[in-house]
Structure 1
Amino acid sequence: MRNSLSTLRSERGWSQQNLADALGVSRQTVISLEKGRFSPSLPLAFRIAGTFGCMIEDVFFPDSDD
């Protein structure tokens, strides 16, 4: 699963640690999410979208359209 997490975070001038603190997760979790190595649970995905004031679909999207 691809995501726009890094872009959204950078646009706000937040560090990975800032985002981790806002979400209540570790910095390593944010790194893994940004690199696509970890897919969030649904509750975490909702927290992420809420933190950025957008919908889950604006943050996470499938690897391909097939």
Structure 2
Amino acid sequence: MNNRLEELRKERGLRQEELADILEVSRQTIGSLENGRYNPSILLAFKIARFFNKNIEDIFIYEEADYNE
């Protein structure tokens, strides 16, 4: 899953630490999310979307794999 978290965070002029404090997670969590190494829980995804005033789908991009039937 790809995401726009880093882009949105930088648009707000926030450091990873600042966003982590706001969302009540660790800076490492923010870094892992931004690098695509971690997918957020649904609750964290909602908190992030609410903070940026976006829909979850506007931040987290799910790319469904092509499956041959």
User: Can you give the 5+ residue segments of structure 1 that lack an aligned partner in the other structure?
Assistant: none
User: Can you give the 5+ residue segments of structure 2 that lack an aligned partner in the other structure?
Assistant: none
Q: Say which SS state the counterpart of residue 33 (structure 1) adopts.
A: helix
Q: CA deviation at 1:62?
A: 1.7
Map of 2:28 onto structure 1: 28
Q: Percent identity?
A: 55
Q: CA RMSD in A?
A: 1.2
* Cα distance between partner residues in 1 of 2:37 and 2:65: 19
Larger Rg: 2
Task: List structure 1 segments (4+ residues) > 6 angstroms apart after TM superposition.
Answer: none
- The answer on 1:13 being equivalent to 2:13 is yes
* Cα distance between partner residues in 2 of 1:38 and 1:63: 15
TM-score, normalising length: structure 1: 0.94
